[in-house]
Structure 1
Amino acid sequence: MNQRIRTLVVDDEPYSREELIYLLRQYETIEVIGEASSGEKCIIQATQTQPDLLFLDIEMPGMQGTKVAEILAELKKPPYIVFATAYPQFAVQAFRLEAVDYLLKPYDEEQLAETIARIDKKFIKSTNSFNQTLVNKLAIEMDGEFLYLDPNNILYINSEDKQVNVITKQGKFHTKGTLKDLETKLSAYPFFRTHKSYLVNLDHVRRLTPWFNGAYNLIINGREEPLPVSRNYVKSLRERLEL
């Protein structure tokens, strides 16, 4: 993704804004362009800067986040919205307003990673809706040369000891690219982040089994090693896999 997602963080609590901005700056696709401490200030900034994305607190003095979302929905190009709050009872109302996601405070880094991955896919789809085409090969740089892999033959990709491994039907390859970069490049294919360190081709999933404390393991066709599925990803994974 060449164009970064211009993001505005809105929360009346300074510490919450600082924490979220710090976490968001870990993502290459996100560009935090500003912050606002109230709904009124958010509307002014959003009108002036036209962000692509808002992380929006719901419970704020004065204008609540849900009202802000209703007003911004009238813009010619309304931003994507992720509601962030300490109160889970607002979830239904948030999704009625077509929010991309709903995050609970304190922030869970794995849940945030899943949210960003979902936003990345939506943003790529919207910005390339007229000219998006599937890449024929995935180019990875290894040992000074480029290898070209068929994405359909990739079973899964994982990050381990600061090295990214691409596991295919033909064998295991290493690349200098990051897991997040590969996730973006493969967004048009059925790859799913099951864990902060694993990206899995869902076409090759054979079995999903419970493991420990709400987490699961995946078994891939042609491989025996179990792949981890963090508990925060289980629900979304099942929705993707099941009819």
Structure 2
Amino acid sequence: MKQIQVLVVDDERYAREELIHLLKDFNGIEVIGEAESGEDAIVKSLSLKPDVVFLDIEMPKMNGMEAAKALQELKKAPYIIFATAYPQFAAEAFRLEALDYLLKPYEEEQLEQTISRVQKQFSHMDNAPQAASGKLSIETDGEIHYLHPRDILYLAREEKFTKIITANKEYQVRTTLKELEGRLTGYNFFRIHKSYVVNLSYVNMITPWFNGAYQLKIEGREETLAVSRNYVKALRSRLEI
């Protein structure tokens, strides 16, 4: 497994230094930078392209939640781990598909569990090319199903679940949209919104909406999907429009 590159974001210098010091004890983790604000986190992420961002929540101007939403819109969106002294933000954090929620002061066991979760996530991604010749395994209602990616129309994130839509059936799983997107690398899938990843083979129409956004129609489906304006240019390029 390659080194997992990490950016540490906190407005308190000593908090950054403590977390960086702790992370250096873990094999496979490389701290490539630090940032002192939400705005700085976005700038550093654009240049450094970290795999994971450890993100404080209570920061002046742009707080951690706002920064996380902006980071998710990047072309190479990092995984987010919130690192904060405030447990009351946990529900909102997981609605943003945070990989984990780490409470200060940091406990060794909790940090080990977080790093284990990070490494497990990237081991799935490392295995994606080998899986590309087979099927996507998903677990729902205690059963394991094997889906061929070509049969999937699109994926949609709804609260704590991800819906996998095929022509004949819908599956609801707890796996995050980002993890499924990573496992489908190598197939014709494209993220059009923080909540949607579509199979481009089934796109039959996109139409302007408002504020530079678009709406997208999938072959055989009645509903329309929102296309974030941040993804419109790349989508049109992929569709050769």
Q: TM-score range by the shorter chain?
A: 0.5 to 0.7
Q: Confirm or deny: 8 A CA contact 1:205 1:221 kept in the other structure.
A: yes
1:136 aligned partner: 134
CA shift, 1:109, in A, is 4.0
> Pairwise mapping of residues 143-154 of structure 1 onto structure 2 (< 5 A)?
143-154=141-152
How far 1:118 moved relative to its partner? 5.4
Question: 3-state DSSP class of the match of 1:199?
Answer: strand
Residue 56 of structure 1, CA deviation: 7.4
TM-score of the pair, normalised by structure 2: 0.56
Q: How does 1:1-243 map to 2 (within 5 A)?
A: 5-9=4-8, 14=11, 34=20, 54=32, 83-84=43-44, 109-115=68-74, 117=76, 132=130, 134-242=132-240
Mapped partners of 1:8, 1:138: distance in 2 = 31
Alpha-carbon distance change, 155 to 15 in structure 1, aligned in 2, over 3 angstroms? farther
Q: Deviations over 1:144-179 (max 9, x none)?
A: 111111111101011113221110112211123221
Alpha-carbon shift at residue 218 of structure 1 (Å): 0.7
Aligned match of 2:83: none
CA 4–228 in structure 1, closer or farther in 2 if over 3 Å, else same: farther
One-letter code of the match for 1:8? L
Distance across 1 between alignment mates of 2:165 and 2:136: 13
Change (3 A) 1:9 1:158: same
Query: Do 2:71 and 2:78's aligned partners in 1 also have CA atoms closer than 8 Å?
Result: no
Aligned length: 180
One-letter identity of the residue aligned with 1:185: R
**TM-score of the pair, normalised by structure 1:** 0.56
Instruction: Among all aligned residue pairs of Structure 1 and Structure 2, give the percentage whose two residues are the same amino acid.
Output: 42
Aligned CA RMSD, in angstroms, stands at 4.4
Unaligned runs of 5+ in 1: 22-32, 36-45, 58-81, 86-90
TM-superposed deviation, 1:52 = 5.9
For each residue in 1:87-109, what CA deviation from the matched residue of structure 2 results, as whole angstroms up to 9, or x when unmatched? xxxx9xx7xxxx759xxx95654
1:127: Cα distance to partner? 6.1
Q: 1:128 & 1:137 partners in 2: Cα distance?
A: 13
How far residue 117 of structure 1 moved from its aligned partner, in angstroms, is: 4.4
- CA shift, 1:54, in A, is 4.3
- Alignment-mate amino acid for residue 20 of structure 2: G
Distance in 1 of aligned mates of 2:209 and 2:170: 26
| Structure 2: gaps of 5 or more residues | 36-41, 51-60, 80-121
Pair 1:3–1:159, CA change in 2 (3 A): farther
